[in-house]
Each structure stands twice: as C-alpha cells, then as structure tokens.
Amino acid sequence: MAMEASEIEAYIRKAFPDAAVTIEDLAGDGDHYACTVVSEAFRGLPRVKQHKLVYDALQGHMGGTLHALALQTRVP
C-alpha cells in the first residue's frame, strides 16, 4: 500500500507549520521518496534529532505504508 507525496507533506506541515517541504517520488511507485524539510524548529538540534522529529511527524507510517524516505533537514 503506497503513500502519496501530498499525504507525507500534510503530516510534516501539521508538525512544522513554518516548513518548506519538497518531496520527490524517486521510483514512481509511491514507496520511495526523497524529502527536504527546512524549518526553524531544527535550529540548534543535531541532525539525528531533526530526522527523528520528522519521522515522529509521520505517525508510524515510516516502514509501513511509507517504505523508504531519503530525508534532508535544514534550518532556513
């Protein structure tokens, strides 16, 4: 069961309303995405913590309906 890019973006925007989010479907199958999230919420946090916050925002879909997500996070 695949997950649409718009669904991923909605989960991320709910957790990070200020975020600039870009998502690319890497394989055209709805299971393999690359995502960049730019948010002030990441300021001062190590990259591992930034990524954990994004995975937490996906509410358990990572590894289930969302198979693979190449994630990049940044501060504006």
Q: Which amino acid is at 66?
A: L
DSSP the chain: ----HHHHHHHHHHH-TT-EEEEEESSSSSSEEEEEEE-GGGTT--HHHHHHHHHHHTTT-BTTTB-EEEEEEE--
Q: Which amino acid is at 27?
A: A
Q: Look at residue 1 in the predicted model and tell me its pLDDT.
A: 60
pTM of the predicted protein model: 0.90
Q: Which CATH superfamily is domain 5-74 in?
A: BolA-like (3.30.300.90)
Q: Which amino acid is at 23?
A: I
Give residue-wise pLDDT tens across range 34-59: 999 999 999 999 999 999 999 999 99
